[in-house]
Chains A and B, each alone.
Chain A
């Protein structure tokens, strides 16, 4: 049973470009979470999604950031017009329906903005 899969593992973008981060949850998991981590810090909640539905986006910046979890395919975290401050590790997690607060994390995408 494969774990949470994230790609790409590393992503380099220049200021002003768009970044797309992908996440495939564990098999049988219907809930996806995105977190951001800066060096030497904890994980900051960004957004919580179910299929075709955003449950909680209280941690998402108001501009340039969006997330989706379509009926088919992976969850996407999209960052438009990236700035250097967006450089961070972005982690996706998923949880099973019977234990939605028990999160299993992927290996993350390290975003570097030049």
Chain B
């Protein structure tokens, strides 16, 4: 079954607010994590990634936090804009058996209200 899941299926925020999307994973052997954004009718778009030897990584308006103790991952979006409305997926890679496949969670739908 899925080893990656999400706390909330939907999130609604006001434009300009900060958004936090959470993700729990169960495979302690996972050493690489990615966040993807998927807009309706499109493929997943890479946002940011992080390796297990880090606990925080920042990009442009986005920050990923990794807490290995409780196996929790979060994506923070600063000053959320209407264009950020999409479904956000976290994914993990354990690298088991030499396979680089990613395991995806079910996703969180972010709606930004103007």
Contact count band on B: 20 to 34
* Distance of A101 from chain B, by nearest CB (Å): 4
* Distance of A8 from chain B, by nearest CB (Å): 14
Judge whether A56 and B97 touch: CB under 8 Å: yes
Residues of A within 8 A of B (CB): 4, 31, 33, 35, 41-45, 48, 55-56, 58-59, 91, 95, 100-108
CA distance A31 to B42 in the complex (A): 21
With a cutoff of 8 Å between Cβ atoms, the chain A residues found around residue B82 in the complex are none
Question: What are 14 residue pairs bridging A and B, where the CB atoms are less than 8 Å apart in the complex?
Answer: A31-B100, A33-B102, A42-B2, A43-B89, A43-B91, A48-B99, A58-B101, A59-B101, A101-B34, A102-B46, A106-B43, A107-B43, A108-B42, A108-B43
Judge whether B44 and A91 touch: CB under 8 Å: yes
Which one, B52-60, B73-81, B103-111, is touching chain A? B103-111
- Is B95 interfacial (CB 8 A cutoff)? yes
With a cutoff of 8 Å between Cβ atoms, the chain B residues found around residue A56 in the complex are 97, 99, 101
With a cutoff of 8 Å between Cβ atoms, the chain B residues found around residue A91 in the complex are 43-44
CA distance A102 to B93 in the complex (A): 10
CA distance A45 to B74 in the complex (A): 22
Judge whether A42 and B107 touch: CB under 8 Å: yes
